[in-house]
Amino acid sequence: MRRFTITVLAVLALTAPAAGQSYPEHVVRIVNPYPPGGSVDVMARILAQKLTDSLGQQFIVENRSGGGGNTGSESVAKAEPDGYTLLFTAPGPLTINPTLYGKLPFDPARDFVPIALFAIAPIVLMVHPSVPANNVPELIALAKKVPGTINFASAGNGTTNHLSGELFKSMAKIDIVHVPYRGAGPAMNDLVAGHVQMFFDLLPVSLPQINSGRVRALGNAGAKRPAVLADLPTIAEQGLPGFDAVSWVGLVAPAHTPASVVAKLTAQVAKVVNSSDIAARIHELGSEPGTVFGKDFGSFLTAETKKWAEVIRASSAKAD
pLDDT of residue 294: 97
Q: Is the pLDDT of residue 210 over 90?
A: yes
Query: Beta strands 151-154 and 177-180: pairing type?
Result: parallel
Is residue 70's pLDDT more than 60? yes
Listed range (56-65, 98-107, 119-128) with the worst mean pLDDT: 98-107
Q: How far apart are CA 180 and CA 178, in angstroms?
A: 6
| This prediction's pTM | 0.86
What is the DSSP code (8-state) at residue 202? E
CB 93, CB 251: distance < 8 Å: no
Separation between Cα atoms, residue 12 and residue 15, nearest integer Å: 5
- Among 111-115, 284-288, 310-314, 316-320, the minimum mean pLDDT is found in 316-320
From 68, 31, 43, 97, select the one nearest 301 (Cα to Cα).
97
14 vs 280: which has the higher pLDDT: 280
DSSP letter for 233, please: P
What is the predicted pLDDT for the residue at 317?
A: 81
Residues 20-30 have a mean pLDDT of 93
311 pLDDT higher than 60: yes
pLDDT band with cut points at 50, 70 and 90 for residue 75: very high
d(CA 92, CA 70): 8
Q: Over 70: is that where the pLDDT of 138 sits? A: yes
**pLDDT value at 7 more than 50:** no
Mean pLDDT of 227-253: 95
Single out the residue of 66, 146, 128, 152 nearest to residue 101, CA to CA.
Answer: 66
Res. 3: pLDDT tops 60: no
Burial of 258 (0-12, 13-18, 19+ CB in 10 A): buried
Cα 235 from Cα 116, distance rounded (Å)? 27
pLDDT of 65 above 60: yes
From the centroid of its chain, how far is CA 141? 31
Render pLDDT for 92-117 as a digit per residue (tens, 0 to 9).
999 999 999 978 999 999 999 999 99
Of the listed ranges 71-80, 211-220, 308-317, the one predicted with least confidence: 308-317
Average pLDDT over residues 167-172: 96
Residue 11 has pLDDT above 60, yes or no: no
